[in-house]
Structure 1
Amino acid sequence: MTQDKKTLYAHNDSLHGRFEQQTAHWPQRIALSYRNQHLTYQQLNEKANASAEQLRSAGICPGDLVALMLPRGLDQVIQLLAILKAGAGYVPIDPNYPVERVEWMLESSNPICLLTQPDICDRLWETGLPESLSKRVLWVDTHESLSITRTIADSERSALPSLNNTDTGNPLTLAYIIFTSGSTGKPKGVAVGHHQVISLLDAVIPKLRCDHTDVWTLFHSLAFDFSVWEIWGALTTGGRLCIVPQDIAWSPDSFSTLLREEQVTILNQTPSAFYALTQTESRIGAQGSPALALRNVIFGGEALNMHQIKRWWTCYSPGQPRLINMYGITETTVHVTWIELTPDMAETDGSPIGEAIPGLDVYLLDNTLSHVADGEPGEMYVGGQQLALGYLGRPDLTASRFIANPFQPGERLYRSGDLAIRREGQLFYVGRADRQLKVRGFRIEPAEVEAAIETHPAIQRCAILPQPSNNAQTADGLIAFLIAKPNMSALPDALTLRHYLTAQLPVHCLPSTFLYLETLPLTVNGKLDQSALLQHWRSQQHQNSHQRRLDLLHARLTVTTQSSHTKNREGDCLYE
């Protein structure tokens, strides 16, 4: 599916350059809000400039990578902007990640330094920072400034080869590394440049008609690439970016209140988060609460269930706000396709994802790289200006996923692993071509979860499958099928395993169900028989449900008998 590239702008600037242009236009407009704290564009720019100068004084050079692990707040965005102004790229690490995942991300990205706070490190490393890391830490104090106690020596420098240009004004300079689940059982870092993000902004912002009057939320973790769109969508158009506190993000009721108080106009949500918000809006709308100020709601991160969206239209008229579904991948810089949803799509089979945004091509191909017919499923291959630079330190994986474009000589295609069909010119998402899963908006590689579980001393083998849901395109959770090591006298229960895994995996990767088996069933071809595993799970669900009904009946009979015995002791008759 090809879009006309004549509509695209020339790319001769950087993300921080775009922000500085808005600062010149709107120096006294509020750029950033968090709870009761606010920064104007001029204040944000001055603070970021001061931190960028401190970074340069500490030895940070153009082309370096700087890891950023800070809690939600103004300092997250200040330091992110400072890193880019210093000519470096940022590696966002969620401070809520388990320590083993944090250490892997630091080891594989090999940043020149880590910007963080002492309380985060004290919580992650109770016995103290590892020696290899302590030499790289630059502390961020509570006043959104850097506390530099040392400089980066030339002997410590670790340049990032073949991925970025050292010219800070060059739009091809690396902007960030964001990690996604990896098929080897470890996350892989995706390298994205300024050029790719600017291409996204130039393609989509005009379609949304965003300007300096808009209020955006930063709802998502910096480690999730949806945040890239949220931050720069606001700060390159003169809008205000409202950082959502973590406790409010977890509470649909509190988030609904924030949306009203801050008069948010541009909201970006995974469908799962939006369904929860819809339930709140349905309830408080019936109580006469004022309508939200939203103009645009943009969905991303997982397949959309149109039947769930129908509930929103019972609260708000179609188009007020506009609901826009955007399919995207980290490797293609957040968003790839666009479609504005209308009520007549509510009965649509599949998840409508529309058409490619300007500057991108989406091809549906079979395993021979031939086009599939309309109505037939094919794997989505994406080409165009938003393709990531590649995988950090993984030239083999980069070569296998970013391939030569057979339809545009000299260009690349990214093999998404996602299946779609085309009907009447519109794309509909079908599912993953490989084993990678989407669970509540998060991309999860089962191999990563399996590898973590198999490190437990009692577990020999593990197979992870998605828990079936009413929406065939997404999963309600993960099921772990386990084979114990021989001669184990006691097997760890679900609570014990979850506690063990929290040191290695983020919460969204933890299985919801654990089932022990004697062996893992195989097909006649020697492959894992997933159908047999799911049948076993359904059987267990049925048995558990039946047992719960028996237990409930037994409890009621016990209460009745005890009550009757008490009455008999008081001289009352059991029967009349």
Structure 2
Amino acid sequence: MGTVVFGAVSHPSSSPSAEGDGDLRETLIDLFVSVARARPLGKALSFEGETYSYAALDVWSRAVAERLWAAGVRRGDRVALRMAPGAEVVAAMLGILRIGAAYVPLDVRNPPARNEFILSDSRVTAFVGDPGEGPPSGLSGLPLIGTDDVAKLLLAEASGGAAVDDHAPGPDDIAYVIYTSGTTGRPKGVPVRHGSVVALLESTSGLFSFRPDDRWLLFHSVAFDFSVWEIWGALSCGAELVVLPHWTARSPDGYLRVVREAGITVLNQTPTAFGAFADAALRRGEDLPRLRYVVFGGEKLTPAAVRPWAERFGTERPRLVNMYGITETTVHATFREWDRAELAGEESVIGPPLPGFVARVVTEDGRDAEPGEVGELWLSGPQVTEGYLERPDLNADRFPLGPAPDGGARLRYYRSGDLVSRRPDGDLVYRGRADLQVKLRGHRIELSDIEGAVRAHPGVVDAVVWVHEFGPGDSRLVCALVPSDGADGPGTRALREHVGGLLPSYMRPGRYLSLPELPRTVNGKIDRAAVARIFEEGR
């Protein structure tokens, strides 16, 4: 049946197609059951001192599936999933997938209005977990299986009924629907098929040396698709998934302690989260001998953000891997391991596309960019999703047909909205978001370039820059930052001198605001709208 351990036995081959399916014929449940049979006593999951074997998680998730089936959930249905981090959320997720349904995650930090929208837009048929203090009105009439109910099913004996196995998913079935977490506009549901996630695991199998004795940290919310990589990176190769408690994830010192004490070997981080983690590790002088990989994703990674870590730990253990990706292309789309040569430069190199992808760099006038020329990244392949849920007009714009490199049948691409350039060796360099480019006093400015310059100051952990209108005709760059010493930071004069040595005058912020932390969206990215509100309220 395919892969049990990455790099040992490969999945069936896949190739890009206009439909985006590829030739993959396995599902996530196929992978999990295969591992559970091969390593029944292996450690699959742990949370706060409790450990569950693959056999135990297999029986537990089957019991959840049978409970869902008894409640009327069927193959192709969508099930809302709202739980705080814990073993129960993984068992519930597997149970939903086992009967061919898709989970629709609701972050426990979501405001009620967002949950109301997601429940309505996704048309879920059941709810698993904790409805919260003010249950959404969209729950009316839906079967509800609470977190405590899922926990009790750990002690239940699955009947082994044929209903669950007879209605197991196929590779074209939807595994999950994750809603994009933009702070403005209408959230968009992204349905992702089993086959697309299997394609991700297949395409990365030869790039990493993941092993059954690895311990992965589930750091991210299940409402952020980085969690898909964390969960299935572990479970597909027989490794152990360590679930980080919700309150610990908010404390860099707290999750540093978990990484050290639990012997985490694979850590996945947004650059924002890693900045705080690295600062804590360097400040405390910690050694992390078990850590083998740090995988970056979700945001632009700059060499300046990694240099202090590399000076202390090097780049070989742990290995530092920059992976660009988007929910619409199933978590990760490129791979580039950073070494000292990359850290000596200033560019954010994201590497070549993963095997199976076709990548175009398209200029504003619609032609393919020359090497070194900046354009929008278009991606095609088996990891590309089918489009947004019930958004045909948007799908027509964001998922266009385009030419194949070999001149064959036209391919369906996803227009990422991200700007890149291609090096002569084929590596892609991330240049920023098209929607983070601003024009100020006649100059076209990439805000992330300014943020990178501010972060390069040794007294700064993180920074965000935007344009604030102080009055009619008076628009200026403003920067909010998190100081590394937890106090007021390096001061405006020192920051201006530092940034002045790196950037031209038109790219230098006019105001600086020190904050204890930058507010984030549920997927760990900086909430730019919330930062701007804090600045406005403090004026």
TM-score (norm 1): 0.71
Query: Which of residues 441, 444, 451 is equivalent to 1:469?
Result: 451
| Worse-matched range after superposition: 57-66 or 136-145 | 136-145
Is 1:13 equivalent to 2:26 in the alignment?
yes
Is 1:225 equivalent to 2:225 in the alignment?
yes
Instruction: Find the aligned partners of 2:212 and 2:530 in 1 and give their Cα distance.
Output: 43
Instruction: Find the aligned partners of 1:64 and 1:436 in 2 and give their Cα distance.
Output: 40
Amino acid at match of 1:476: V
Residues 346-398 of structure 1: CA deviation (Å, up to 9, x unaligned): 23233110101111121111134321111110110001110012101111211
Following superposition, the deviation at residue 85 of structure 1 comes to 0.3
* Structure 1 ranges of 4+ moved more than 4 A: 5-10, 181-184, 465-468, 471-475, 477-483
Following superposition, the deviation at residue 129 of structure 1 comes to 5.0
Instruction: Find the aligned partners of 1:235 and 1:380 in 2 and give their Cα distance.
Output: 31
Aligned residue number for residue 495 of structure 2: none
TM alignment of 1:112-511, pairs within 5 A: 112-117=125-130, 120-122=131-133, 125=134, 129-130=136-137, 132-142=138-148, 144-145=150-151, 168-181=168-181, 185-285=185-285, 289-407=286-404, 408-425=408-425, 426-434=427-435, 469-471=451-453, 476=464, 508=527, 510-511=529-530
Following superposition, the deviation at residue 253 of structure 1 comes to 1.3
- Structure 2 CA distance for partners of 1:373 and 1:410, relative to 1, 3 Å: closer
Contact (CA 8 Å) 2:12, 2:24: kept in 1 or not?
no
- Structure 2 CA distance for partners of 1:181 and 1:409, relative to 1, 3 Å: farther
Following superposition, the deviation at residue 475 of structure 1 comes to 5.8
Contact (CA 8 Å) 1:269, 1:300: kept in 2 or not?
yes
Contact (CA 8 Å) 1:378, 1:420: kept in 2 or not?
yes
SS at match of 1:297: strand
Aligned residue number for residue 60 of structure 1: 73
Amino acid at match of 2:414: Y
Query: Which of residues 43, 47, 51 is equivalent to 1:34?
Result: 47
Contact (CA 8 Å) 1:466, 1:479: kept in 2 or not?
no
Residues 451-488 of structure 1: CA deviation (Å, up to 9, x unaligned): xxxxxxxxxxxxxx9995344999616677599xxxxx
**When the two structures are aligned, how many residues end up with a matched partner?**
444
Amino acid at match of 1:294: L
TM alignment of 1:42-53, pairs within 5 A: 42-53=55-66
Contact (CA 8 Å) 1:364, 1:378: kept in 2 or not?
yes
Following superposition, the deviation at residue 167 of structure 1 comes to 6.4
- Structure 2 CA distance for partners of 1:17 and 1:27, relative to 1, 3 Å: same
Amino acid at match of 2:343: A
- Computing the radius of gyration from Cα coordinates, the structure with the larger value is 1
Amino acid at match of 1:276: A
- Structure 2 CA distance for partners of 1:436 and 1:19, relative to 1, 3 Å: farther
Amino acid at match of 2:105: P
Query: Which of residues 74, 88, 93 is equivalent to 1:75?
Result: 88
Aligned residue number for residue 156 of structure 1: none
Amino acid at match of 1:513: A
Following superposition, the deviation at residue 296 of structure 1 comes to 1.1
Contact (CA 8 Å) 2:99, 2:169: kept in 1 or not?
no
RMSD value, Cα = 3.2
Instruction: Find the aligned partners of 1:66 and 1:358 in 2 and give their Cα distance.
Output: 32
Residues 499-553 of structure 1: CA deviation (Å, up to 9, x unaligned): xxx9xxx99365223499xxxxxxxxxxxxxxxxxxxx9xx99xx8xxxxxxxxx
Instruction: Find the aligned partners of 2:73 and 2:281 in 1 and give their Cα distance.
Output: 47
Following superposition, the deviation at residue 181 of structure 1 comes to 4.2
Residues 163-190 of structure 1: CA deviation (Å, up to 9, x unaligned): xxx9634201011101114697111001
Residues 224-281 of structure 1: CA deviation (Å, up to 9, x unaligned): 0100100000001000000111222111112111111111111100011111111122
- Structure 2 CA distance for partners of 1:87 and 1:355, relative to 1, 3 Å: same
Contact (CA 8 Å) 2:12, 2:25: kept in 1 or not?
no
Instruction: Find the aligned partners of 1:415 and 1:75 in 2 and give their Cα distance.
Output: 36
Structure 1 residue runs without a partner (length 5+): 148-165, 438-464, 484-501, 517-536, 545-576
- Structure 2 CA distance for partners of 1:35 and 1:388, relative to 1, 3 Å: same
Structure 2 residue runs without a partner (length 5+): 1-10, 16-22, 154-165, 439-446, 456-461, 472-520
Following superposition, the deviation at residue 284 of structure 1 comes to 2.4
Percent identity over the alignment is 37
Contact (CA 8 Å) 1:305, 1:471: kept in 2 or not?
no
Amino acid at match of 2:92: Q
Contact (CA 8 Å) 2:302, 2:452: kept in 1 or not?
no
TM-score (norm 2): 0.76
Instruction: Find the aligned partners of 1:393 and 1:370 in 2 and give their Cα distance.
Output: 30
Amino acid at match of 2:140: S
Contact (CA 8 Å) 2:302, 2:346: kept in 1 or not?
no
